[in-house]
Structure 1
Amino acid sequence: MTITPGAPPTRTTPGRLALGLLTGGVIGASLTAFIGGCATAKAPLIVLGLLLPTVFGLLRYLGTRPRRARERAVAPRTALAMIENLQALGGEDSDVPVRFELTVAPDGAPAYRVEFRQAVNLVELPDYRPRGIVVVEYPPDRPWKVRIVKRPTPAWEERAARAVLDSAPGPAMKEDPLRGCATGLLALLGLLLGTGAVLLLFRADLFGRDAGGGAPKPSVTSSSTSSSTFSSTFSSTTTTVTSATGTVTLGPGRSMLDQGELRRSVESLTQDADHRQALTLVVQDRLLTVVYSPAGAGAAGFDPRSLPLDRVAALVEEARTTLGVDSPRSWQLTADGVTGSPTLRITVTGERGTGILEADGQGKVLRRNGS
């Protein structure tokens, strides 16, 4: 802040800097928690992302109430001022922002210059001109917060009409650019710190349960070789396991309908000690996908190993031959047990339509829906 004689300085206090740092931290932490919780289906993170800014805003409101009450209790000071310079900054509305530079002459105090912005109606803009006298108001403890009184009292209006003021020496008082710069930098630092804190404290939820300790076990990708039922050559099996899903992809010449293939694939995705439950299991000719229940979901889901995996080949064959689908080209098995006992749905697609066969958790056919 540039100060002229008689005007008290404004400073960037440590409290304002700390508030900027804390505000940035809350923004970074809440956004990271909310987005991370939505991406990983972690309810605690979502709640944290919503609760943190709410609590911070409430505490800040309650903490600033005494100061705002004190400011409202102080009556503004009225003074005459002379327009040194003004510049309309443009705008498409009827009120346009105008940059004013005034010489303020308080009663019984030295005059000082001040620069500020105030919206002025386009119709009233010609009333403001250099060397013109206006009536202004400002808080006694913050003389840089000057505002032109558009409708002064008759007494002040008469004083303004008869007053002659001299320009105050020195540069105009205005906001210190370093203040906004320092506050912005600290807010950015707080944003980074808040983001880093959430990533560090909730790394296990965001990056998998083993993210915090020892040699991490990331999404496991393993390859093994076995002989194909239909070919004497060797083909690969790719298994990928993450905290949310597991997939098994068979190599060329192999099928999930081969004897024992589907059960081996399911067991490769459920061999961990936690025996994770599944929300959905999807099987195609060479691809198995399991969507695991989120941590803390209680009894939601089912054990994929409990399904009648040895009956799948027969069910697929029955769907191909009894649903009236001409020249069936592809099939898909979907097992869904979110709301109770798992049900199997086999969809067969041909050249002219699609058929669906549904079975219960023991492989008993419940209904057929042909094309």
Structure 2
Amino acid sequence: MTTATVETPTGAAPLDLARGFLTGGVIGASLAAFVVGCTLGRVPLIIAGPALLAAYALLFRLAGAPRRAREGARAPLTALALIDGREVLRTGRETDVPVRFDLSVAPDGAPPFRIRFTQDVHVSELADHRAGAVLVVRYAPDRPWLLRIVKRPTPEWEDRAAGAVLEPAPGPVVVADRKDGCLWSLTTLLGVLLGAAAVVLLMRAELFGKDTDAPAARPVASSSTSTSTSTLTVTATVTSSATGTVTFGPGRSVLDRGVLREAVQSLTGGGDGKQALTVVVREQLLTVVFAPEGVSAPAFDPRSLPFDRVPALVEEARTTLGVDAPHTWQLSAERLAGALTIRIGVTGAGGSASLEADGQGVVVRRSPVR
């Protein structure tokens, strides 16, 4: 008796590893593009993520079409097989349990061969799959390790199996259960991580802000100067008054030591007599409305503000007025009632509150959340 030489299926080949890495990279890049697009509000990125994944899936499908056509042109072979041995791998409450079979397959007009594979079997059919029983199997002619037991054979094959007497086939057992190990999974995971990292690196400037590590420059008094760290604009209004603003870029706040004083001095030019009607301060914005020349108005010298007390006043307003999770604050200074009044308003999830201080930075009134 001669035996067939059946090639044992190998693990992950280099081509499989490359395909897994590419697939992981596309998945990682697509997911990262979608998440980054949602974070930045960039509609093209939101669309590009799923579109890239769909395009890759289509190309993958088209690339495998010739192979599937060749396989479809070959009709699967049906044969009888003798159960040399079996092992139930797991038992429990499941109706189908995995069973490892050792079979001797006897194809019509071809040498027999032995094969080991695993297939789920219903618990009620385990008695029919005992050692020594003859079964009907089906497999691809060029890939016999994809062999499967036919659960419902045709009457012709069922009669053949019932009257067949088979002998165990000689030769080695071909192990059909493919073992890729961890290499393919690790390669695919590496592709996912690198694909996601590539998108994040490309969009890092918009995600984390430009020049966040560079020290912020001082504001420069100019009507047209604009930099990435600070800008200053002074424009004249129709009422002949002037409004000066200083905007600080990321990484610098008006509450930093000496920053507010420098910003006010950059607007006043260090000269005397430039009076302000209102000074409004936010986290990264200073606005000064100057009094028109020759007009009597309740103005004050913006350089007389208690700059050193401003950070403490803001902190007190944020922490002692009962505002839950405060997220915005605003300081306004004016002299409408005669004396200089500094008012700090805080807004958060629990509502709004405010406190008032005099020209020396001493708190004179608190209005907590009600």
Q: Secondary structure at the match of 1:172?
A: strand
Note if 1:286 corresponds to 2:314: yes
Which position in structure 2 is the counterpart of 1:142?
A: 143
CA distance in 2, matches of 1:116, 1:130: 15
Which position in structure 2 is the counterpart of 1:263?
A: 281
Matches within 5 A, 1:106-117: 106-117=107-118
Matched to 1:167, the amino acid is P
Matches within 5 A, 1:79-118: 79-88=79-88, 89-118=90-119
Deviation digits for residues 194-250 of structure 1, max 9, x if unmatched?
133223322222332x3xxxxx43386899xxxxxxxxxxxxxxx99549xx85547
Note if 1:217 corresponds to 2:212: yes
Deviation digits for residues 58-104 of structure 1, max 9, x if unmatched?
22223323322332332110011111222232353322222222121
Q: Secondary structure at the match of 1:114?
A: strand
Matches within 5 A, 1:287-302: none
Cα displacement (A) at 1:181: 3.8
Bigger radius of gyration: 2
Q: Secondary structure at the match of 2:32?
A: helix
Matched to 1:171, the amino acid is V
Cα displacement (A) at 1:157: 1.5
Matched to 2:175, the amino acid is M
Deviation digits for residues 173-204 of structure 1, max 9, x if unmatched?
22442x45442232133223313322332222
Cα displacement (A) at 1:39: 3.6
Alignment CA distance shift 1:264-1:147 (3 Å): closer
Contact 1:91 1:97 in 2 (8 A): no
Cα displacement (A) at 1:140: 0.6
Alignment CA distance shift 1:220-1:82 (3 Å): farther
Q: Percent identity?
A: 42
Alignment CA distance shift 1:124-1:64 (3 Å): same
Instruction: Give ranges in structure 2 of 5+ residues lacking alignment.
Output: 219-246, 261-276, 288-311, 319-329, 355-365
Alignment CA distance shift 1:286-1:18 (3 Å): same
Alignment CA distance shift 1:92-1:26 (3 Å): farther
Note if 1:170 corresponds to 2:165: no
CA distance in 2, matches of 1:331, 1:353: 11
CA distance in 2, matches of 1:265, 1:192: 37
Matched to 2:70, the amino acid is R
Q: Secondary structure at the match of 1:286?
A: helix
Deviation digits for residues 244-269 of structure 1, max 9, x if unmatched?
xx855478xx9xxxx97643854369
Which position in structure 2 is the counterpart of 1:159?
A: 160
Alignment CA distance shift 1:267-1:353 (3 Å): closer
Cα displacement (A) at 1:150: 1.2
Alignment CA distance shift 1:28-1:101 (3 Å): same
Match of 2:346 among 322, 325, 332: 332
Deviation digits for residues 258-283 of structure 1, max 9, x if unmatched?
x97643854369xxxxxxxxxxxxxx
CA distance in 2, matches of 1:123, 1:134: 16
CA distance in 2, matches of 1:154, 1:353: 85
Which position in structure 1 is the counterpart of 2:126?
A: 125
Q: Tell me the number of residue pairs that the alignment of Structure 1 and Structure 2 aligns.
A: 273
Cα displacement (A) at 1:285: 5.6
Alignment CA distance shift 1:190-1:250 (3 Å): closer
CA distance in 2, matches of 1:107, 1:151: 20
Which position in structure 1 is the counterpart of 2:6?
A: 7
CA distance in 1, matches of 2:248, 2:127: 73
Q: Secondary structure at the match of 2:207?
A: helix
Q: Secondary structure at the match of 1:38?
A: helix
Alignment CA distance shift 1:106-1:248 (3 Å): farther
Cα displacement (A) at 1:22: 0.8
Instruction: Give ranges in structure 1 of 5+ residues lacking alignment.
Output: 211-215, 224-238, 270-283, 290-306, 321-329, 335-345, 355-371
CA distance in 1, matches of 2:131, 2:85: 6
Matched to 1:49, the amino acid is G
CA distance in 1, matches of 2:184, 2:28: 16
Cα displacement (A) at 1:153: 1.7
Deviation digits for residues 313-358 of structure 1, max 9, x if unmatched?
99xx99x9xxxxxxxxx94259xxxxxxxxxxx934889963xxxx
CA distance in 1, matches of 2:215, 2:55: 40
Under a length normalisation based on structure 2, what TM-score does the superposition of the two structures give?
0.59
Which position in structure 1 is the counterpart of 2:308?
A: none
Note if 1:51 corresponds to 2:58: no
Matches within 5 A, 1:332-351: 332=346, 347-348=352-353
Cα displacement (A) at 1:170: 1.1
Matched to 2:143, the amino acid is R
Q: Secondary structure at the match of 2:143?
A: coil
CA distance in 2, matches of 1:286, 1:351: 14
Alignment CA distance shift 1:154-1:123 (3 Å): same
